[in-house]
Chains A and B, each alone.
Chain A
Amino acid sequence: MKVTLFATCLVDLFQSNVGKATVELLERLGCEIDFPESQICCGQPAYNSGYTKESKEAMKKMIKTFADAEYIVTPSGSCAAMFKEYPVLFKGDAEWEKKAASLAAKTYELSQFIVDVLKVTDVGATLKGKATYHTSCHMTRLLKVKEAPAILLSHVRGLEMTPLPDAQNCCGFGGHFRLRWVTFPGKWSRKRYAILKIPGQIF
């Protein structure tokens, strides 16, 4: 199966390990990975800040970049949700609305793709230790992908999953809010993760 990877700008620039792991994982599951060089950013930073005009430029670029893809897979629920929002943004735009809809229809978040499309629930991973999973706001609430990550994690050999209390609460990391205004979300993120006092190795 041919998969076109949308790495996302954060992964590309700051967390390339996530991108590498995504490629290796999908290849192990028998996918052939394509990475179109012209991809940049889904446009969400500008869109969420109210710069819709500017973000649309980025979006058009993405629509063109992924026009020929069969499946677009991205290791970010948030960016996937942004792609899914494109048809709303280009509604009534004769040139772009259809293309946006086609992009949205073939976009999957990584775990969603593995579970829903590849129909794989066990990726064959082994990791000894304990972990907890904090749901992503945009992935659960906007993309509505709730189960897939937990399903995959539950099949990792040697890994004991411990539920995170109030996992639905926002970590406070994201958003324009911290960039623009105040210095406190750190206090909040630290507190959020201070509850993870689980013995053993934490991932």
Chain B
Amino acid sequence: MAMKTSSAKFKDRVDEGIHNDFMRLAVSSAQERLHGRRLTAVDELGSWEDWRSLGEEIRQHVLSNLDFYLHQLAENVSKRGGHVFFAETAEEASGYIKDVIVKKNAKKVVKSKSMVTEEINLNATLEAVGLDVVETDLGEYILQVDDHDPPSHIVAPALHKNKEQIRDVFKEKLAYTQTEKPEELTAHVRGILRKDFLSADVGITGCNFAIAETGSIGLVTNEGNADLVTALPKTQITVMGMERLVPTFDEFEVLVSLLTRSAVGQRLTSYITALTGPRDEDDVDGPEEFHLVIVDNGRSSILGTEFQSVLQCIRCAACINVCPVYRQVGGHSYGSIYPGPIGAVLSPLLGGYDDFKELPYASTLCAACTDACPVKIPLHDLLRKHREVIVEKEKMAPFSEKMAMKAFGIGAASPMLYKFGSKMAPSAMSPFKTGDIISKGPGPLKTWTESREFPAPGKESFRDWFKNREKGGKPS
């Protein structure tokens, strides 16, 4: 699946999301639980603002010296016998990986969850040459079995499905005969995937953080699937977004602490693994061959722009878990593998405004995302900056809005015009009024009043009242 997950119009996707009551319930309850856990984890740690500032400091330092740290990483991976491939585009990355695998005459590939492999459309590329590609994260596996349903959340990809739906999918595709209990569903998958782990030729992982000083790859899971993916197959291929690295183990530790608390409210997740090169001499398990694929795919063009801070992201999804818009429309409405506030900032940058120009408007700018971000990305401000680009550079704003805002610019800067307009407001609005409420507003007010009644302009504006009062008129 490439970054774009739907060709439907944004408005239609949102409408579909809004009317999917199960999904909305699932999303809101997941949001509440994740949000609650995060707050507890953050409180326990103490000095959270200092932790966030430290996280920000580390990420900013790495981004401004990115070429240095990538060079150091590559050198150290190679010193330990690993192969490094720098891929400028998604095609280069997936093409290289395909070639490595085909050369090995491999049949089966096991994968642990990785958003960047979704971004480079890796599974489709590998399946096209007849490879058996198995996702091993439970959520990803469920989606894969369900005819490649797109993920709706970057940490919990199958968040939009309930256990009954999963049971039915398993019955149809996996000859499953038990109930919808999560324990039973999970045990069934464990049995199937255990065989896949043992028989796979190649293991593919993403990368939470690479460590430049040692050439290590850090992987964070609860299921332990990344460990089996890297311990058993003979070849390991790790794919990383080029910004996902830290200088040393000291900074790795800080970012892992921020990640696990922010993502799932855990002090640490069950499995945190630092892998360095292929297996050592005489080791029995671990890969004989290790490839690291470092992917640009549009990231370098974000560097040096007002959007650079988005590359600080550590993919914890805390912003998604507090977003009121995500809560209402669900992940699929975004039409991108990256949903929520981070997706709305990142998708237009990586995938272009043509496909994702609506996403920056999928926000109330309530700034809950900015507040939740463990590395202090000013997400709401970046969303607003996108709007600025859409209006000023891309010229994609609707004509009526442009006219309204031009009028705003003139009106709000000119008291005379403003006064005239505001005098007109009560009578201009009168056809839409019921008592003191506008319930069927015209033009841009229409969408607003379809969901919320808007107070009608009063007969007497505040300024008139104030003036009368100064003149000695009675306060009303």
Asked if the two chains touch in their complex, CB atoms less than 8 Å apart, one says yes
Q: How far is the CB of B321 from chain A (nearest CB, A)?
A: 11
Q: What's the dominant secondary structure at chain B's contact region?
A: helix
Q: A94 at the A/B interface (Cβ < 8 Å)?
A: no
Bound complex: CA of A20 vs CA of B463, how far in Å? 10
Known interface pairs A57-B412, A188-B324; A177-B362 also in contact (CB < 8 Å) = yes
Residues of B within 8 A of A176 (CB): 361, 365, 387
A-B pairs with lowest CB-CB distance, top 3: A186-B451, A50-B387, A54-B409
Q: How far is the CB of B398 from chain A (nearest CB, A)?
A: 8
Q: In the complex, which of the residues B328, B370, B392 contacts A53, with contact meaning CB atoms closer than 8 Å?
A: B392
Contacts across chains A and B counted by CB atoms under 8 Å: 193
Q: How far is the CB of A109 from chain B (nearest CB, A)?
A: 16
Q: How far is the CB of A168 from chain B (nearest CB, A)?
A: 7
Q: How far is the CB of A59 from chain B (nearest CB, A)?
A: 9
Are A182 and B15 touching (Cβ within 8 A)?
Answer: yes
Known interface pairs A13-B461, A50-B392; A178-B447 also in contact (CB < 8 Å) = yes
Bound complex: CA of A39 vs CA of B422, how far in Å? 13
Bound complex: CA of A48 vs CA of B364, how far in Å? 10
Known interface pairs A55-B409, A58-B409, A177-B363; A19-B462 also in contact (CB < 8 Å) = yes
Residues of A within 8 A of B451 (CB): 178, 183-187, 189
Q: A26 at the A/B interface (Cβ < 8 Å)?
A: no
Residues of A within 8 A of B365 (CB): 48, 174-176
Q: How far is the CB of B411 from chain A (nearest CB, A)?
A: 8
Q: Which residue of B lies closest to A165 (CB)?
A: B32
- Give A160-193 as 1s and 0s: 1 = Cβ < 8 Å from B's Cβ atoms: 0000001011101111111111111111110000
Choose the segment among A66-74, A100-108, A136-144 that binds chain B (4+ C-beta atoms closer than 8 Å).
A136-144
Are B367 and A58 touching (Cβ within 8 A)?
Answer: no
Q: In the complex, which of the residues A50, A55, A175 contacts B389, with contact meaning CB atoms closer than 8 Å?
A: A50
Residues of A within 8 A of B107 (CB): none
List, sorted by A's number, 27 A–B pairs whose CB atoms are closer than 8 Å: A12-B422, A15-B458, A20-B462, A23-B466, A39-B415, A40-B412, A40-B415, A41-B412, A43-B412, A46-B405, A46-B412, A50-B384, A50-B386, A50-B390, A50-B397, A51-B391, A51-B408, A52-B388, A54-B406, A57-B409, A166-B32, A175-B366, A178-B448, A179-B447, A181-B11, A188-B328, A189-B451
Are A141 and B367 touching (Cβ within 8 A)?
Answer: yes
Q: B132 at the A/B interface (Cβ < 8 Å)?
A: no
Q: A154 at the A/B interface (Cβ < 8 Å)?
A: no
| Other A-B pairs beyond A51-B409, A170-B368, 5, CB < 8 Å | A50-B384, A174-B365, A179-B445, A183-B447, A183-B451
Q: In the complex, which of the residues B14, B386, B390, B425 contacts A13, with contact meaning CB atoms closer than 8 Å?
A: B425
Interface size class of A (residues with CB under 8 A): 35 or more
Are B452 and A185 touching (Cβ within 8 A)?
Answer: yes
Are A185 and B328 touching (Cβ within 8 A)?
Answer: yes
Q: How far is the CB of B2 from chain A (nearest CB, A)?
A: 24
Bound complex: CA of A57 vs CA of B368, how far in Å? 29
Within 8 A of A (CB), among B345-383: 358, 361-368, 370-371
Known interface pairs A50-B384, A60-B413, A181-B361; A16-B462 also in contact (CB < 8 Å) = yes
Q: In the complex, which of the residues A41, A53, A170, A184 contacts B18, with contact meaning CB atoms closer than 8 Å?
A: A184
- Give B1-17 as 1s and 0s: 1 = Cβ < 8 Å from A's Cβ atoms: 00000000011001100
Q: Which residue of B lies closest to A178 (CB)?
A: B448
Known interface pairs A13-B422, A51-B408; A138-B367 also in contact (CB < 8 Å) = yes
Bound complex: CA of A132 vs CA of B388, how far in Å? 37
Q: A7 at the A/B interface (Cβ < 8 Å)?
A: yes
Are A48 and B384 touching (Cβ within 8 A)?
Answer: yes
Residues of B within 8 A of A12 (CB): 422, 461-463
Residues of B within 8 A of A13 (CB): 422, 425, 457-458, 461-462
Bound complex: CA of A169 vs CA of B397, how far in Å? 29
Are B368 and A14 touching (Cβ within 8 A)?
Answer: no
Bound complex: CA of A45 vs CA of B476, how far in Å? 29
Q: B22 at the A/B interface (Cβ < 8 Å)?
A: no
Known interface pairs A12-B461, A40-B415; A182-B447 also in contact (CB < 8 Å) = yes
Q: How far is the CB of B389 from chain A (nearest CB, A)?
A: 7
Known interface pairs A170-B366, A183-B451; A19-B387 also in contact (CB < 8 Å) = no
Q: B285 at the A/B interface (Cβ < 8 Å)?
A: no
Q: How far is the CB of B323 from chain A (nearest CB, A)?
A: 9
Q: How far is the CB of B348 from chain A (nearest CB, A)?
A: 13
